[in-house]
C-alpha cells in the first residue's frame, strides 16, 4: 500500500516534534517563565488576598497538583527541585521554619499568614538589590491563583 503524507500533515508532524523538544527543555527548567492553567480552581478576582486561600478546604488538593508543576516550571531552576536549594537561592523549605517553632497553634497560624504576605510580595516583585536582579518579578506572568498554588506546594515541603 502506498501512503502519501500530505504536506500539511508533514508540517504538523514537524511542529509536533519541535514542541516536544521544547517541552522537554522546559522540564529541565528553561529560563522562559511558564503560564499556569488554573481554570480548575476557584477564581480569586482582581483583589490580592493576604493569605493563601487554597491552604485548606476543598480546593487544596487541586491547588497542590497545579502548584507542584508550577513550582518546577518557574522556581526550581533557582530554588532547586523539590525546594531543596543547591545554594544559588534560599532554601524555601526553611521559609516558615520560625513559625514552626511555635507550640501554640493560633500563634503558628498567624505566623504562617504573615509569611503568606511576605511570600506574595516577594514573588510579585522579585528581588533587586543594587540594581542587580536576583529574582525576576512574576506579577504579569503568573496569576494570583498560580502564585498561591505554588505556596500550597511549598507548605508541603516545610521543614523546622
Ligand atoms: C533567577 C533565579 C530565581 C527564580 C527563577 C526564582 N527565584 Fe526566588 N529568589 C532568588 C534569589 C537569588 C533570592 C534571594 C534574593 C536576595 O538575596 O535578596 C530569592 C528569594 C525568594 C524568596 C524569599 C526567601 C527569603 O528567605 O527571603 C521567596 C519566597 C522566593 N524567592 C520564591 C520564589 C518562587 C515561588 C519562585 C517561582 C515562582 C522563585 N522564587 C523564582 C532567585 C530566584
pTM of the model: 0.84
Residue 12 lies in a domain: no
Cell of 23: 517541552
Whether 29 is in a domain gets the answer no
In a domain, 92, yes or no: yes
Residue 3 domain flag: no
User: Which set of grid coordinates corresponds to residue 102?
Assistant: 511555635
- Tell me the pLDDT of the chain (160 aa) as tens digits: 445 544 444 444 444 444 433 443 444 445 566 789 999 999 999 999 999 999 999 999 999 999 999 999 999 999 999 999 989 999 999 999 999 999 999 999 999 999 999 999 999 999 999 999 999 999 999 999 999 999 999 999 999 9
For cell 521544547, the residue is: 22
Q: Is residue 74 part of a domain?
A: yes
User: What's 85's domain CATH number?
Assistant: 1.10.760.10
Contact predicate 140/131, CB 8 Å: no
In the chain, how many domains are there?
A: 1
Q: Residue 129: what are its φ and ψ, rounded to 5°?
A: -130, 135
Residue 118 CA, closest ligand 1 atom number: 29
Is 40 part of any domain?
Answer: no
Q: Which atom of ligand 1 is nearest to the CA of 142?
A: 38
Q: Is 127 helix (H, G, I), strand (E, B) or coil?
A: strand
Residue 134 Cβ contacting ligand 1 at under 6 Å? yes
**Segments in the chain forming alpha helices (H):** 7-27, 60-74, 76-79, 97-100, 105-125, 144-155
Residue at grid coordinates 500539511: 8
Assign 3-state DSSP to the chain and report helix, strand, coil percentages, each to 5. Answer: 50, 5, 40
Would you say the CB of residue 129 lies under 6 angstroms from ligand 1? yes
**Ligand 1 mean position to 79 CA, how many Å?**
7
State which of 76, 122, 140, 142 you would mutate to test the pocket of ligand 1, scoring each by most atoms of that ligand within 8 A of its C-beta: 122
* Residue 4 placed within a domain: no
By residue range, what is the domain housing residue 60?
49-160
Q: What's the pLDDT score for residue 10?
A: 46
Dihedral, CA of residue 8, residue 10, residue 11 and residue 12, to nearest 10: 90
pLDDT of 31: 57
Residue 35 confidence (pLDDT): 81
Amino acid at each position: 500500500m502506498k501512503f502519501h503524507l500530505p504536506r500539511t500533515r508533514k508540517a504538523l508532524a514537524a511542529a509536533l516534534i519541535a514542541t516536544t523538544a521544547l517541552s522537554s527543555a522546559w522540564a529541565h527548567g528553561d529560563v522562559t517563565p511558564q503560564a499556569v492553567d488554573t481554570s480548575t480552581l476557584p477564581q480569586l478576582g482582581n483583589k490580592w488576598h493576604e493569605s493563601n486561600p487554597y491552604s485548606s478546604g476543598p480546593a487544596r488538593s487541586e491547588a497542590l497538583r497545579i502548584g507542584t508543576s508550577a513550582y518546577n516550571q518557574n522556581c526550581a531552576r533557582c530554588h532547586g527541585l523539590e525546594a531543596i536549594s543547591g545554594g544559588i537561592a534560599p532554601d524555601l523549605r526553611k521559609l516558615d521554619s520560625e513559625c514552626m517553632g511555635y507550640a501554640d497553634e493560633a500563634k503558628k497560624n498567624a505566623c504562617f499568614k504573615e509569611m503568606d504576605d511576605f511570600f506574595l510580595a516577594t514573588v510579585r516583585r522579585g528581588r533587586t538589590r543594587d540594581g542587580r536582579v536576583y529574582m525576576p518579578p512574576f506579577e504579569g506572568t503568573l496569576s494570583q491563583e498560580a502564585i498561591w498554588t505554588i505556596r500550597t506546594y511549598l507548605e508541603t515541603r516545610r521543614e523546622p
